[in-house]
Homo-oligomer: A and B are copies of this chain.
Amino acid sequence: MRTEAGPPVTVVVGAGLVGASIGHALTGAGWRVHLVDAVPSHAMVAAGLGAGTAEPAEPSEVGLVVVAVPPRTIADVVGESLQTYPYATVTDVGSVKAGVLDALWERPVDLTRYVGSHPMAGSHHSGPVTADGDLFVDRTWVVTPHRKSAEASTARVVELVRACRARLVTLDVDDHDAAVARVSHLPHLVSVLMAGHLTDVPEEDLVLAGQGLRDVTRIAGGDPGLWQQIVRANATAVLRELRQVAVSLDRLITAVETAPTDEAPADLSLSRELERGVDGTRRIPGKHGSAAVPYEQVVVAIPDEPGALARLFGDVEAAGVNVEDIAIEHDASRQVGYLTLSVQPERAEGLAVVMRDGGWTVV
């Protein structure tokens, strides 16, 4: 039985991007980390890169188990871990929390030692990415204690979040699931809806597609297998949002159907829907958790050739202006792209002048 002070001996189950990144972060913080994966070579690769050891842990010595497996298998792996490691706090890093808890509730396991969590990082860097111990630094990591969980278990998961240098947010299980349904799962499905509609659009129409369509549909390209598990796991909360959107869509259709008349030439219903959309975009916090800042945009044409961006940013640096955000736009058929530089409003005019003087086309 583990009694010594210091960080707990930790087992990370699942050596994918999130699991291995946790391994790196904890190892870097001086923790002892054992990596386990259904495919043993995955654990060995991650261990070889410094995320921990692939050697098995002595179960009675383990103080913390982090379950970083696909959503569908989380509940089973958490249940098994509670049994395998009799003194360990067990957490998971899945993006939906209630289903796991519900599945475990009636099982003969010690739920006082389980506290779910959800690091908000990594999920949209798809493709071959390498684990990174800094993945969670200053990112939100939600911890979701429940009615049966012991305070000591919650404290241990908080210790994990701190060791990964993430920003701790504590939420009730259902509140968490409702929140991610609204800001993550619903947007994904709305994007899927729009992108799916394109499968019925004639190819010659798609030649007219611009950046707006690309933005709206980008996340719909995410892994369908993973998203099926996420949506399935959060079905109740997701359905509540989807049904509200269906009501809004009906209202929007009615607004478009309602032609303006001589009596009501202002056509307020459609106007109201469009204004509501603008209001919604303004509610999304800006970067670093601050309120959305109305940056000003300086749009510069960039030749489509190697080195153009480096020269451009060199000139921006020379202007001494901090760029808050950038976006690049390559429309179909246009050889010259546009770079939108978002800067503090009081710096926009000066930047535009410097860029023009430097020979750039500022539009």
Which of A's residues lie within 8 Å of B, judged by CB?
A: 120-121, 124-125, 127, 129-130, 132, 134-135, 137-140, 142, 167, 169, 178-180, 182-184, 186-222, 224-225, 227-228, 231-232, 235, 238-239, 241-246, 248-250, 252-253, 256-257, 259-260, 267, 270-271, 273-290, 296-297, 299, 301, 304-307, 309-314, 316-317, 320-328, 330-338, 340, 361-363
If A183-B205, A253-B242 touch, whether A211 touches B330 (CB-CB below 8 Å) is: no
List B contacts of A203 (CB < 8 A): 283
Q: Is the CB of B206 within 8 A of A284?
A: yes
Q: Is the CB of B336 within 8 A of A124?
A: no
If A216-B219, A363-B129 touch, whether A288 touches B332 (CB-CB below 8 Å) is: yes
How distant is the Cα of A326 from the Cα of B281 in the complex, in angstroms? 22
Q: A137-B336, A201-B283, A213-B284 are in contact. List 11 more A-B contacts (CB 8 A).
A: A138-B335, A179-B205, A182-B197, A192-B273, A192-B276, A195-B277, A195-B281, A198-B281, A207-B285, A235-B259, A287-B331
How distant is the Cα of A129 from the Cα of B183 in the complex, in angstroms? 32
Q: Quick one: closest B residue to A244, CB to CB? A: B197
If A221-B278, A276-B199, A363-B132 touch, whether A284 touches B209 (CB-CB below 8 Å) is: yes
If A167-B333, A187-B216, A334-B139 touch, whether A238 touches B210 (CB-CB below 8 Å) is: no
